[in-house]
Structure 1
Amino acid sequence: MDACTLGDLLDVIGGPSVRLHTAPAGLTAPVTEAVLYDAHAPLPQAPGALLLAVGVRAAAAGPLVRVVAEAGMTGLVVRGPDGPVGEAEAHGVALLSVDEDAAWHHVHLLLSSAIGARPGPSAGGLGDLFALADAVAAATGGATAVEDPRQRILAYSTVPGQPVDEDRRQGILGLQVPVSPANSEQYRALFAAAGPVRLPALREGDLPRLAVAVRAGGETLGSVWVVDDGTLAPDAEETLAQGASTAALLLLRARAAQELARHQNSDLLRRLLDGTADASTAAQRLGLDGGLRVAAFVLDAASLPDAEQTALRLLDVVRLQCEARYGRHACVLVDGVVYAVLPAPGAQPQGRAGVERSSARRPEGLSTVGRSTPAEAPRRRTDEHSHKRLAQDIVARAGQALRVPVRAALGEVVAGPAQTVRSREDAELVLRVLGPDLPVATVDEVRPRVTLLRLAEVLGERRELSAGPWRRVLAYDETHGTDYARTLVSWFDAGCDMAGAAKLLAVHPNTCRYRLKQAQQHVGIDLDDPDERLVLWLQLRTLAGLSGAIAAGVPRTP
């Protein structure tokens, strides 16, 4: 694994969590560990370390800068914004800060985890599992595979010359054990046993297996399987039991690394969505390549007693469905809204299976492992309609599972990660115009609605744009009990057709004509001027919230 640099660290946890104030040595300075400051103990010589200024106020941390420089450390981390920037620049020391209320033990854990568990070629510990599979295979004399509880193959041995059967070939080809009733029965026997068990061949031509469950603290983490052609070493069972203990440690470490990576990716995606992350770095770490669009999912409920927990469950549903469709995926929960970044047409995101297979070594006799098969390519391609179908499916599944209606909005397809903010803003606008009659929509489907929504905001913010005769029309109606505003909007909505406006208002055309003439006379508007008609229509539609559809009803007396 390459050494972690200050830039690497900030790419992962920079932003709201950790802020950089100065880096005189640049972002390529190495970061080796995070050290807690102890005023009653000598400072260790720790080149490349970050010193956490425990018990020292940020404004009083100047003397620590010189100590950090003398110890060969890369930087100092203070709590609060008023750190000694000048001293840090003078001594060539990086200065970082965390929030005032951040707990030092939490900051230490965050930094240490980020420094020590950066993504590497082994893909979260899987490389070590491959090495373990080779070691077990060499010691027992049989081809070995490591699986998770769902019978997915995580690693396999590549020791040459060891016999294999068709079950192993097919399992490695798809990284999944073939499903069969006989297989299920063997797994039940395996997970019920306290140690290694010998299992017979399932069909003619296959070989028996020696297998053991991998457990930690009573939890089943997976299993290790060895092909038994009758020539296994005499101590194969003991070796396999020892291998299972090592596998448990590796699987726990891989799980921790995956959880950390998910947390780091979530923070990075939040910053990409709000435009504060470097787009190229975020794209590389999140596996985003080419065009994309942002989908937003929200619970359609005014209030819930456990809204936060329900939103987290919604995140799980969205993530599961997106990963099933696209492989490794970027999803995050922000302020009650679940955002998912969907690959656009032609984009080829690096799927989870693709990562695992590309890092795996080629098994015996299987030259296609590690490459996409022709059948996989169409599944990775997406189109405009598939995004909406996915959103509709998620809304249906989530609503059923959570027993709460869910709405979904899809922003515009943008050219790349640098424009993610635009697609997110589109999706948020679409969320505001959705309702029970329209729970799922793309921005293009509701473009007129979101355009009017934004126009209403812009017009309302500017005095010169919100002024005009529309206010006089509403005030006259309020004072005299007339219905001029609704009549005007209905007439505009009907394309200035008197019969159409009368139909919307459920009145006689002559009544509509009379109201319009009276409105011009009493309020002082010129309906012969197309510009005045347009502005008045927009203001009544956006600022007053009126439309011909709403206008239909019991008319008031003109």
Structure 2
Amino acid sequence: MDTWTLGELLDVGGGPAVTLHTAPAGLTVPVTEALLYDAHSPLPRAPGALLLAVGVRASAAGPLARAAAEAGMSGLVVRGQDGPLAEAESAGLALLSVAGDAAWHQVHLLLASAIGALPQALGFDRGGATTGPADGGAALGDLFALADAVAAAVGGATAIEDPRQRILAYSTVPGQRVDEDRRQGILGLQVPGSPENSEQYRVLFSAAGPVRLAALGGGAGGRGGDNLPRLAVAVRAGGETLGSLWVVDDGRLAPDAEEALVQGASTVALWLLRARAAQELARHQNGDLLRRLLDGTADPAGAAHRLGLGLGPDGEPAPVRVAAFVLDSAVSEPDGEQSALRLLELVRLQCRARYGRHACVLVDGVVYALLPALGERGSARHKGLAEDIVRQAGQALRVPVRASLGDVAPGLAEVAASRDDADLVLRLLGPGLPVASADEVRPRVTLLRLTEVLAERRELSTGAWRDILAYDAGHGTDYARTLVSWLDAGCDMAGAARLLAVHPNTCRYRLKQAQQQIGIDLDDPDERLVLWLQLRTLGGLDGSSRSFRGPV
């Protein structure tokens, strides 16, 4: 596979950020790069490019669409929804748009990173070989090779760090000196901490370019007398600090070491941005796959491999269970969407820590996680995980969180049914029951499902139960609640009286009056059963109710 198509780009990088309006040449047209339009320069010949219409109103971009098509480009990206649809279709050019308030440099970074990250996100290399499921980043070996290249250009042993002083890669060029600090950092892939180190990082990240830093002494941050000075530079992109580059200065650095280090930092920044983009795109792709599994619209074949799920002894996808997490809707949350995204990240972290992988997605305010169930006995382990997440997320977000567990799905084809179970259980949760599995609340789940079934069918929702409620409403009686309490008590008058806090003779009188006034036959077991089901489900009554929600 030598080029990537518009369809592939939209699959992994589309969504709310980029909208496709038309693709007259189809979704298989190649996409090679993203270009910014410059009104002061001639349009280059760029087959397969996406042209970003910088400085051009969407409604006035018709001539630019024709010019882009003549230059062999694949598509035009405008800002806003009123783009030149007719002109693009006539020219055979794909027309895409971004939101009206989107910054062009951010759009360019998004598309350029997506195009560069497609090999990793799609699981292919440029030679067409499958590299396995997307792991969210370029090969780590590429970054080590980059560290070697920078070390060779600068003339000293080089390390690439992230903003938290974790070592991402280091050079191994023969003949370059290293010191104790470097050896200790490489052993733990973490820079040793000390006040001296902290001060050097403060100086580095406040500087606009490379800085030369003195050798650290002995003590916590420098464990020996052979420590050497450093030449370092922050790795930045668009004002964001992505990490840093450190070079051991043994007095033999190249004359243009600072310039070479700046160029190396620019390349490292691009690599880190592409790795981040690949991670986000792979996460988006896996989230979309999980969303379709939950909806029952995805082909489960191959999904287990894509989502990192194991196989059972028979070679088929192992059983899984859907867990659902949601913020308490009863609590007013000023930034509910942001809190839901934070909840998603918390669930991902916990699932990764517990299972070494995660398959999580946010759908309509609910975070769903696919939990491996192979070897599980009951739901104790899953419930323990859900309880931990509810507790930690509630503390972090300062909003109560509820969690439910569906039934175990024997395979990915049955994931939608487990999701349905989890959704039903969510509706039963509250402050007194923040976490539950479908097994634990099976009777209540069954009644809730029966409520939906009875309400959907006219012949199942009609009957004497409506007459009883209407009579109570018109005459101020309490026949419905008395009847339900009596049935809940197993037709025991004393038990019903205790539920209602009245004398048994009062219950007896009410039931007799209900039969006479409404015409129900309480001697018929079938009528008793149907009345009980309809009043409990459609009427929302039970023996302890002080009120009911009324007919559905």
In structure 1, what is the equivalent of residue 545 of structure 2? Answer: 550
Cα deviation 1:253-303 (Å, max 9, x = unaligned)? 355345545654565426742649866798777656654524323145432
Distance, in Å, in 1 between the alignment partners of 2:199 and 2:344 is: 35
In structure 1, what is the equivalent of residue 397 of structure 2? Answer: 402
Distance, in Å, in 2 between the alignment partners of 1:40 and 1:250 is: 28
- Match 1:191 to one of 198, 201, 205: 201
Q: 2:58 touches 2:84 (CA, 8 Å); kept in 1? A: no
**Residue 146 of structure 2 is aligned to residue 132 of structure 1:** yes
Write out aligned runs for 1:498-537 (5 A).
Answer: 498-537=493-532
CA shift at 1:304, angstroms? 3.5
In structure 2, what is the equivalent of residue 370 of structure 1? Answer: none
Distance, in Å, in 2 between the alignment partners of 1:20 and 1:55 is: 17
Cα 1:132–1:389 change in 2 (3 A) is same
Write out aligned runs for 1:278-317 (5 A).
Answer: 291=320, 293-317=322-346
In structure 1, what is the equivalent of residue 252 of structure 2? Answer: 235
Q: Give the AA of the match of 2:400.
A: P
- Match 1:215 to one of 234, 244, 251: 234
Distance, in Å, in 1 between the alignment partners of 2:393 and 2:383 is: 15
CA shift at 1:544, angstroms? 1.4
Identity %: 59
Q: Give the AA of the match of 1:523.
A: I
Q: 2:235 touches 2:244 (CA, 8 Å); kept in 1? A: no
CA shift at 1:470, angstroms? 0.7
CA shift at 1:147, angstroms? 3.0
Q: Which moved more, 1:46-55 or 1:146-155?
A: 46-55
Distance, in Å, in 1 between the alignment partners of 2:544 and 2:281 is: 49
Aligned length: 507
- Match 2:427 to one of 423, 432, 448: 432
In structure 1, what is the equivalent of residue 536 of structure 2? Answer: 541
Distance, in Å, in 2 between the alignment partners of 1:57 and 1:276 is: 40
In structure 1, what is the equivalent of residue 208 of structure 2? Answer: none
In structure 2, what is the equivalent of residue 10 of structure 1? Answer: 10
In structure 2, what is the equivalent of residue 363 of structure 1? Answer: none
3-state SS of paired residue (1:548): coil
Q: Give the AA of the match of 1:215.
A: A
3-state SS of paired residue (1:187): helix
Distance, in Å, in 2 between the alignment partners of 1:514 and 1:332 is: 56
In structure 1, what is the equivalent of residue 313 of structure 2? Answer: none
In structure 1, what is the equivalent of residue 128 of structure 2? Answer: none
Q: 1:466 touches 1:539 (CA, 8 Å); kept in 2? A: yes
- Match 1:177 to one of 183, 190, 193: 190
**Residue 442 of structure 2 is aligned to residue 484 of structure 1:** no
Cα deviation 1:402-442 (Å, max 9, x = unaligned)? 33322233444446666665554444433322111012223
In structure 2, what is the equivalent of residue 463 of structure 1? Answer: 458
Q: 2:179 touches 2:227 (CA, 8 Å); kept in 1? A: no
Q: 1:133 touches 1:144 (CA, 8 Å); kept in 2? A: yes
CA shift at 1:519, angstroms? 2.4
TM-score w.r.t. structure 2 length? Answer: 0.71
**Residue 270 of structure 2 is aligned to residue 253 of structure 1:** yes
Distance, in Å, in 1 between the alignment partners of 2:224 and 2:381 is: 41
3-state SS of paired residue (1:9): helix
Q: Give the AA of the match of 2:367.
A: Y
Q: Which moved more, 1:323-332 or 1:432-441?
A: 323-332
Q: Name stretches of at least 5 consecutive residues in structure 1 with no aligned partner.
A: 348-380, 554-558
Cα deviation 1:216-274 (Å, max 9, x = unaligned)? 57987555567x8xxx8532498886676456435543553455456545654267426
Q: 1:149 touches 1:223 (CA, 8 Å); kept in 2? A: yes
Write out aligned runs for 1:375-414 (5 A).
Answer: 384-414=379-409
Cα deviation 1:31-76 (Å, max 9, x = unaligned)? 1134577999875432123456865659x97x98876665433346
Distance, in Å, in 2 between the alignment partners of 1:136 and 1:308 is: 42
Q: 2:290 touches 2:360 (CA, 8 Å); kept in 1? A: no
Distance, in Å, in 1 between the alignment partners of 2:152 and 2:109 is: 38
In structure 2, what is the equivalent of residue 373 of structure 1? Answer: none
Cα 1:111–1:434 change in 2 (3 A) is same
Cα deviation 1:163-185 (Å, max 9, x = unaligned)? 99999889767x6439xxx7545
Distance, in Å, in 1 between the alignment partners of 2:393 and 2:401 is: 7
Distance, in Å, in 1 between the alignment partners of 2:52 and 2:193 is: 53
Cα 1:384–1:131 change in 2 (3 A) is farther
Q: Which moved more, 1:538-547 or 1:399-408?
A: 399-408
CA shift at 1:546, angstroms? 0.6
3-state SS of paired residue (2:402): strand
Distance, in Å, in 2 between the alignment partners of 1:71 and 1:100 is: 26
TM-score w.r.t. structure 1 length? Answer: 0.70
Cα deviation 1:491-523 (Å, max 9, x = unaligned)? 332344444333323345454344334323322
3-state SS of paired residue (1:195): strand
CA shift at 1:131, angstroms? 1.8
Distance, in Å, in 2 between the alignment partners of 1:446 and 1:455 is: 14
Distance, in Å, in 2 between the alignment partners of 1:192 and 1:16 is: 38
Q: 1:300 touches 1:404 (CA, 8 Å); kept in 2? A: no
3-state SS of paired residue (1:452): helix
CA shift at 1:547, angstroms? 0.9
Q: Which moved more, 1:478-487 or 1:278-287?
A: 278-287
**Residue 146 of structure 2 is aligned to residue 146 of structure 1:** no
Q: Give the AA of the match of 1:489.
A: V
Cα 1:506–1:250 change in 2 (3 A) is farther
Q: 2:65 touches 2:84 (CA, 8 Å); kept in 1? A: no
